[in-house]
């Protein structure tokens, strides 16, 4: 180790002997990280300002520092270089950063093992290395860190078992080892000592043996105890009944056997928690334990042995007939799927396209004015979003024409969707109605000459010299094709006017559906639980698509009920994504009331001033840039609003104390109150919207959505799930 460090510092000295001595010891250790990466363009870009000529590394990208008592200069306390596609290894020199508290290198392509020397950084409390290609085993010295709280090594290729030394990780709060190659039995006797552990995820490995009994002693556990997709055997320990009531289980895809316990925490679990364990029986599975083979004798307990008459089985001929019918049904379904696949593949516009190039207003229109092809979605299975129709030759020519004449007085109306066609004069002559106004522009409902309504957003009059930037953003937004995202159909650009033409969604927004026309007063909505769950699933799918499958990997930045639109069937649509950038380009002054579309009513004041705060805690720091984890937090608040029927600042929350009800609760307060409700084991009837109490069968589903919402609203953004995971978890509920 010492020889390697000496060689490293010697090389740096030979390259630049004079300035090197001015660089702090922390800076020298950081340069080891830079040297451990390859020379790819992504690495060069990330470390472009990591200069050995600097005396202090605290202004380098991804490095954070803090003044430490007893030291004249700030010391490095954080390294965050995530999702940069870096290729290299983790250098042992990082262990010399004795004040390093947080190391976040997730989402890269780092290889090799985790060096033991890294854990010489005794101040380290958060280590995020998930989503790399790391190999080897868990270093035994990992729990030498006295302050270790967060350890996420998921989605790597780590192997071996969990060392018994993990009992020394007394401060550990989150342990995530999912999607690796770990194997062997989980040690017994370590979990009772981890009294601060809040999250445990060991899923998608090859763990064997029985589930340890002392997992039931994790008194601080919240969210999901995830042991799914392993090779656990034996019965489910009854000690898990003692876990907090807010904990949900995921024990799918194991080899567990016996009867599912019925008391304590198990009474709140749904059937999805136990699927694909062939020898499990009992509630909530629809499998009686009387028909399960007795593990001790190896033979089934027959009706005769119980003193009852034996039941006759199905006749062989009937069994054959049922098998043939099942095979025929499967074959028919397969043929239908293949037919639909080739029909879509051969359509002129590809993914999400119509089978014929019809104009808006033809027989392919539904009642909401959306194209029939919008019912399809581009699958995320291949990790790529389909190309939009924006790149057709005719439209490219139109873009080039406008680029060359960006300063001309006349504007140009460009249709993004080939099946959507109308003239500018038709738009200007159409009847228009003001829907509302916000910082993102005035929105009108415009009824075209063929009777089809569209939503038109007026962005403003500025940005005449930034046409190329404007079109680049429009192209990215126009490529979004998903059934739960509002579709951009066309746009109009001129030096003094910018318009966006989108589908008109007919049934208002989620805020109106929940609370009625009087804004956030109670008593307006009467949504059933089935409808609320449908809305939550649809909105999650749309937001996950924007995060994962869109060309820009969009961050919405303003997720709230008013930006979740609903059609007549209560399908959810995410709206207003990507607009913040367009507003900054156009330099819009949204206080203006002029420039109304022809035929519009005189400007009316916006529907209501929105008070609830759906921002994540870190989003309230001035100057911070939005992230996808902000969206996850905001969506979690929307889920809590669906569950409780109260907005984050509702002054009539049944959970609020008298001292807080007069001033209203912020989003953080709503999360705190819900968590407190679970901690003191309040009855569900005191926390949910009274409307949901009429549906007794929904209790388990409501509990499951509470778990998802609380995971989304974790204060630490690093441990919030991705929207893709949130969407997948919601889709499991009620199915």
What DSSP string describes 545-581? HHHHTSTT----S--SGGGEEE-TT--EEE-STTHHH
pLDDT given for residue 561 in this prediction:
92
Residue 328: the pLDDT is 60
Whole-number Å distance between alpha carbons of 74 and 374: 55
Looking at the DSSP bridge assignments, the partners of residue 510 are none
Question: How confident is the model over 407-451, as pLDDT tens digits?
Answer: 334 567 888 876 666 666 666 666 666 776 655 567 888 877 667
Q: How confident is the model at residue 176 (pLDDT cuts 50, 70, 90)?
A: very high
Which DSSP string do the residues of 96-152 spell out, in sequence order? G-TT--EEE--SSEE-SPPPGGGGG-TT--EEE--SS---S---GGGGG-TT--EEE
| pLDDT value of residue 467 | 75
HSE, CB side, 13 Å, CA atoms: give it for residue 651.
6
Output the pLDDT for position 79.
93
- In the residue annotation, 558 being an active-site residue is answered as yes
3-state helix, strand, coil split of the chain in percent (to 5) is: 35, 15, 50
* Secondary structure element (H or E) that encloses residue 326, with its range: helix 316-345
The CATH class of the 414-587+611-649+667-732 domain is mainly alpha
Give the C-alpha separation, 28 to 86, whole Å: 20
pLDDT-derived band at 316, boundaries 50, 70, 90: low
- Return the minimum-mean-pLDDT range out of 101-110, 313-322, 348-357, 726-735: 348-357
pLDDT reported for residue 445: 82
Q: In terms of CATH, what superfamily is 21-138?
A: Ribonuclease Inhibitor (3.80.10.10)
With bands split at pLDDT 50, 70 and 90, how would you rate the model's confidence at 349? very low
What integer pLDDT is reported at residue 400 of this predicted model?
38
3 state SS of 442 = strand
Q: How far is CA 368 from CA 450, 451, 508, 528, 727, in A?
A: 13, 11, 12, 22, 25
Question: Does residue 631 or residue 506 have the better pLDDT?
Answer: 631
Quote the pLDDT of residue 585: 67
Local confidence band at 69 (pLDDT 50, 70, 90 cut-offs):
confident
**Segment 17-35 mean pLDDT:** 77
Distance CA 727, CA 721 (A): 10
pLDDT band at 532 (very low <50, low <70, confident <90, very high): very high
pLDDT range class, residue 731, cuts 50, 70, 90:
very high
For residue 404, what are the contacts with CB-CB under 8 A and spacing of at least 6?
A: none
Catalytic pick from 250, 558, 631, 689?
Answer: 558
Highest mean pLDDT among 150-159, 491-500, 588-597: 150-159
**pLDDT for the residue numbered 464:** 56
Q: What is the pLDDT at residue 503?
A: 87
Q: Answer whether residue 668 shows pLDDT above 80.
A: no
For residue 462, the model assigns a pLDDT of 55
When mean pLDDT is compared across 107-116, 485-494, 520-529, 661-670, the lowest value belongs to 661-670
Rounded mean pLDDT of the chain? Answer: 75
Is residue 684 scored above 90 in pLDDT?
Answer: no
**pLDDT tens track for 570-585:** 999 998 887 767 766 6
Sign of CA dihedral 544, 549, 551, 553: positive
**159-288 belongs to which CATH class?**
alpha beta
Question: Strands across the sheet with 150-152, in order?
Answer: 63-66, 75-80, 102-104, 126-128, 150-152, 174-176, 199-201, 224-226, 248-250
Of 322-331, 443-452, 625-634, the range with the highest mean pLDDT is: 625-634
Q: Are 445 and 504 in contact (CB under 8 A)?
A: yes
- The confidence band for 723, taking pLDDT boundaries of 50, 70 and 90, is very high
The pLDDT of residue 550 is 75
Dist. CA 700–CA 420, nearest whole Å = 44
pLDDT at residue 385 above 60? no
Identify the DSSP state of 209.
Answer: E
The region of weakest confidence among 364-373, 612-621, 653-662 is: 364-373
Element containing residue 443 per DSSP (H, E): strand 441-447
- Does residue 17 or residue 598 have the better pLDDT? 17
Q: Pinpoint the residues of the chain covered by CATH 3.80.10.10.
A: 21-138, 159-288
Q: Which residue has the tokens 């430490």?
A: 68
In this model, does residue 365 exceed pLDDT 80?
Answer: no
pLDDT at 141 over 70: yes
Q: Which residue has the higher pLDDT, 589 or 336?
A: 336
What pLDDT is recorded for position 94? Answer: 94
- pLDDT per position as a tens digit, 113-127: 999 999 999 999 999
For residue 482, give both structure tokens: 């998903």
pLDDT for 279? 92
Across residues 483-512, what is the average pLDDT? 86
Asked if pLDDT for residue 382 goes beyond 50, the answer is no
The per-residue pLDDT for 53 is 85
User: Does residue 30 carry a pLDDT above 90?
Assistant: yes
Q: What percent of the chain has pLDDT over 90?
A: 31
| The most confident of 61-75, 390-404, 588-602, 692-706, by mean pLDDT | 61-75
Task: Select the more confidently predicted residue: 50 or 662.
Answer: 50
Report yes or no: 261 and 216 within 8 Å, Cβ to Cβ: no
**Residue 165 pLDDT greater than 60, yes or no:** yes
**Torsion angle (degrees, nearest 10) of CA 14, 20, 25, 29:** -50
> Sheet containing 206-209: which strands, arranged edge to edge?
159-160, 181-185, 206-209, 231-234, 255-259, 279-281
Find out whether the peptide bond into 434 is cis, omega within 30 degrees of 0.
no
Spatial distance between the Cα atoms of 545 and 376, rounded to a whole number of angstroms: 13
Please tell me the predicted confidence (pLDDT) of residue 657: 39
pLDDT tens-digit profile of 227-279?
Answer: 999 999 999 999 998 888 778 888 999 999 999 998 888 877 777 788 899 99
What residue spans in the chain does CATH classification 1.10.510.10 cover?
414-587+611-649+667-732
- Range among 57-71, 174-188, 490-504 with highest mean pLDDT value: 174-188
Backbone φ and ψ of 412, nearest 5°: -140, 135
Q: Which of 56, 53, 58 is nearest to 77 (CA)?
A: 58
Is it the case that residue 160 has pLDDT exceeding 70? Answer: yes
Tokens 């300063």 locate to 407
Q: Is the pLDDT of residue 632 over 80?
A: yes
Most confidently predicted of 192-206, 330-344, 669-683: 192-206
Backbone angles phi, psi at 72, to 5 degrees: -70, -35
HEC profile of 498-545: EEEEEECCCCCEHHHHHHCCCCCCCCCCCCCHHHHHHHHHHHHHHHHH
Chain centroid offset of residue 93 CA: 34
Query: What pLDDT is recorded for position 690?
Result: 81
Q: What string of DSSP letters covers 472-504?
A: HHHHHHHT---TTBPPEEEEEEETTEEEEEEEP
What are the pLDDT digits (tens) for 460-480?
Answer: 655 555 777 778 888 888 888
């Amino acid at each position: 180790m010492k020889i390697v460090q000496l060689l490293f510092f010697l090389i740096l000295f030979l390259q630049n002997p004079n300035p090197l001595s001015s660089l702090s010891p922390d800076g020298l250790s950081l340069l080891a990280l830079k040297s451990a990466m390859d020379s790819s363009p992504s690495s060069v870009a990330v470390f472009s300002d990591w200069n050995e000529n600097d005396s202090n590394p605290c202004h380098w990208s991804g490095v954070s520092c803090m003044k430490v008592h007893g030291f004249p200069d700030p010391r490095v306390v954080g390294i965050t270089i995530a999702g940069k596609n870096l290729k290299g290894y983790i250098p042992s020199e990082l262990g010399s950063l004795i004040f390093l508290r947080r190391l976040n290198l997730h989402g890269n392509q780092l290889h090799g093992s985790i060096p033991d020397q890294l854990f010489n950084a005794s101040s380290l409390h958060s280590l995020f290395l998930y989503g790399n290609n790391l190999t080897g085993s868990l270093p035994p010295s990992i729990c030498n860190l006295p302050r270790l709280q967060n350890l996420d090594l998921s989605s790597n290729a780590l192997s071996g078992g969990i060392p018994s030394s993990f009992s020394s990780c007394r401060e550990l709060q989150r342990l995530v080892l999912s999607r690796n190659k770990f194997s062997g039995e989980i040690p017994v006797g370590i979990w009772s000592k981890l009294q601060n552990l809040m999250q445990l995820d060991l899923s998608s490995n090859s763990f064997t043996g029985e589930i340890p009994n002392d997992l039931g002693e994790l008194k601080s556990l919240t969210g999901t105890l995830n042991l799914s997709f392993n090779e656990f055997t034996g019965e489910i320990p009854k000690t898990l009944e003692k876990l907090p009531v807010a904990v949900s289980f995921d024990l799918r895809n194991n080899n567990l056997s016996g009867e599912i316990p019925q008391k304590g925490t198990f009474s709140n679990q749904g059937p999805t928690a136990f699927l694909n364990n062939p020898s499990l029986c009992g509630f909530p599975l629809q499998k009686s334990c009387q028909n399960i083979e007795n593990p001790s004798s190896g033979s089934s307990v027959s009706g005769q042995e119980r003193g009852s008459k034996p039941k006759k089985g199905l006749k062989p001929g009937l069994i054959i007939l049922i098998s043939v019918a099942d095979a025929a049904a499967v074959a028919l379904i397969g043929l239908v799927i293949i037919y639909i696949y080739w029909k879509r593949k051969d359509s002129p516009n590809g993914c999400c396209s119509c089978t014929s190039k019809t104009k808006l207003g033809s027989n392919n229109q539904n009642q909401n004015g959306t194209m029939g092809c919008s019912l399809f979605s581009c699958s995320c299975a291949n990790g790529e979003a389909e190309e939009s129709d924006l790149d057709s030759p005719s439209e490219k020519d139109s873009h080039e024409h406008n680029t060359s004449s960006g300063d001309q007085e006349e504007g140009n109306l460009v249709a993004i969707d080939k099946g959507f066609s109308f003239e500018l004069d038709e738009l200007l002559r159409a009847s228009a109605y003001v829907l509302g106004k916000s910082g993102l522009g005035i929105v009108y409902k415009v009824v075209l000459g063929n009777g089809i309504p569209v939503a038109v957003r007026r962005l403003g009059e500025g940005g005449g010299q930034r046409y190329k930037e404007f079109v680049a953003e429009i192209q990215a937004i126009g490529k979004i094709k998903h059934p739960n995202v509002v579709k951009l159909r066309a746009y109009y650009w001129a030096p003094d006017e910018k318009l966006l033409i989108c589908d008109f969604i007919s049934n208002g927004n989620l805020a109106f559906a929940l609370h009625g026309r009087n804004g956030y007063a109670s008593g307006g909505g009467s949504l059933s639980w089935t409808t609320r769950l449908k809305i939550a699933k649809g909105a999650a799918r749309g937001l996950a698509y924007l995060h994962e499958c869109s060309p820009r990997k969009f961050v919405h930045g303003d997720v709230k009920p008013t930006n979740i639109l609903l059609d007549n069937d209560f399908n959810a649509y995410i709206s207003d994504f990507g607009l913040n950038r367009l507003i900054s380009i156009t330099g819009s002054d949204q206080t203006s009331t002029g420039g109304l579309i022809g035929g519009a009513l005189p400007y009316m004041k916006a529907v209501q001033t929105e008070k609830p705060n759906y921002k994540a805690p870190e989003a309230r720091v001035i100057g911070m840039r939005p992230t996808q984890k902000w969206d996850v937090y905001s969506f979690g608040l929307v889920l809590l609003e669906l569950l409780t029927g109260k907005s984050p600042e509702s002054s009539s929350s049944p959970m609020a104390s008298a001292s807080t009800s007069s001033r209203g609760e912020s989003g953080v307060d709503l999360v705190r109150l819900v968590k407190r409700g679970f901690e003191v084991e309040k009855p569900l009837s005191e926390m949910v919207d009274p409307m949901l109490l009429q549906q007794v069968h929904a209790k388990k589903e409501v509990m499951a959505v509470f778990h998802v919402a609380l995971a989304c609203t974790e204060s630490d953004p690093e441990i919030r799930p991705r929207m893709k995971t949130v969407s997948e978890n919601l889709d499991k509920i009620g199915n």
